[in-house]
Amino acid sequence: MHIVILIVLLLALIFGPQWWAQYTFRRYAGNLPRIPGSGGELARHLLDRFEMPDVGVEQTDMGGDHYDPESRTVRLSPSNYTDHSITAVAVAAHEVGHAIQHHRKETKLALRHRLVKLAQSTQRLGAVAMLLLPVVMVVTRAPASGLIMAAIGLGSMAIGTLVHLVTLPVEIDASFSKALPILKAGDYIQPADEIAVHRVLRAAAMTYVAGSLASLLNLARWLAFLRRA
């Protein structure tokens, strides 16, 4: 019984933030006459206002809402690009917040970008190393070989975990140090909508919490396995 409760708690801890974020996005996704522009239009306006005319705004069906620092493009899902909803304008402002971070060369975003590149290059190598670890230990019967493979695999996972941990403050900054003050100071939202916008921006920042927790648990699981091996 205790194991079942623990499993349920772990699932809630990992998937709860993502479920809550999606629920929040849907809750405030209705078009409102009092919102004069779409998410895509607001993103373009804000980029021009903050002197980033070279940053593009695109509608995307893949990858979800995000800012691509490689191509310098804000990409929004179809509904957030075209709709006049609280979710659309809040998410658009959040992604513009990342463009502002990039434009200002803020260290946290730069560190995240470098770690993402490193994680992408090491992820496959780490996965192969962990899969081959038992085989190498049986075939070679040399503890050193197993330790090398384990170090490669754990190093790859540790970099991925670090990416998630660095991502969280970057997301929080984009929501609450960039998007929310911009929306309030520029009168892009009405006072009655501030609570809803705050919730959407919190959801946008917290979409990475589940990935962070899952990454940490996966790393801990492998560490526990290697200690028993």
Rg (CA), the chain: 21
Q: Which of 41, 51, 58, 95 is catalytic?
A: 95
Q: Is residue 75 helix, strand or coil?
A: strand
Q: DSSP letters along 131-171, please? A: HHHHHHHHHH--HHHHHHHHHHHHHHHHHHHHHHHHHHHHH
* Listed residue (100, 102, 110, 79) closest to 200, CA to CA: 79
Known catalytic membership, residue 95: yes
Centre a 10 Å sphere on the Cβ of residue 157 and count the other Cβ atoms it contains.
Answer: 23
Longest CA pairwise span in the chain (Å): 70
Residue 167: C-alpha distances to residues 170, 196, 207 (Å): 5, 23, 10
Whether 108 contacts 169, CB under 8 Å: yes
The bridge status of strand 56-59 relative to strand 73-76 is parallel
Could you list the active site residues? 95
